[in-house]
Amino acid sequence: SAVISQKPSRDICQRGTSLTIQCQVDSQVTMMFWYRQQPGQSLTLIATANQGSEATYESGFVIDKFPISRPNLTFSTLTVSNMSPEDSSIYLCSVEVVSDEQYFGPGTRLTVT
């Protein structure tokens, strides 16, 4: 397994602003992912954070709205840009430590007012 931390754990933001969420892992991992969990809905993959190259985004998610950085094998950031109330959600990073086993961070609870 892996120890994954996220900062901040929660935040309340005003519409139109941006928030950057950090994800730190205690070991080097190849695969890092960002998910969104909206109230009452299932987890949805936003993008795969690739080290040394641009992130790979899923359908419905774009880089201008959710820019991602992956400067090394233990760290990634997700920015939620120009926020609206519809962006209120829990944002989770996950890592694949062992093949076919993804482990999740504690999540960042975002409320946009």
Under the rule (CB under 8 A), what is the footprint of other proteins?
Answer: 1, 4, 31, 33, 40-45, 48, 58, 92, 94, 96, 100-107, 109
The angle formed by the CA atoms of residues 67, 60 and 3, to the nearest 5 degrees, is 55
Whichever of 48 and 88 has its CB closer to other proteins, that residue is 48
Q: Least distance to other proteins from the beta carbon of 18, Å?
A: 23
Q: Measuring CA to CA, which residue among 58, 57, 36, 61 is closest to residue 112?
A: 36
Q: Least distance to other proteins from the beta carbon of 111, Å?
A: 14
Using CB atoms within 10 A of its CB, is residue 75 exposed (0-12), middle (13-18) or buried (19+)? middle
Whichever of 15 and 98 has its CB closer to other proteins, that residue is 98
Q: Are 61 and 68 in contact (CB under 8 A)?
A: no
Q: Least distance to other proteins from the beta carbon of 61, Å?
A: 12
Q: Quote the tokens at residue 46.
A: 């936003």
Q: Least distance to other proteins from the beta carbon of 39, Å?
A: 11
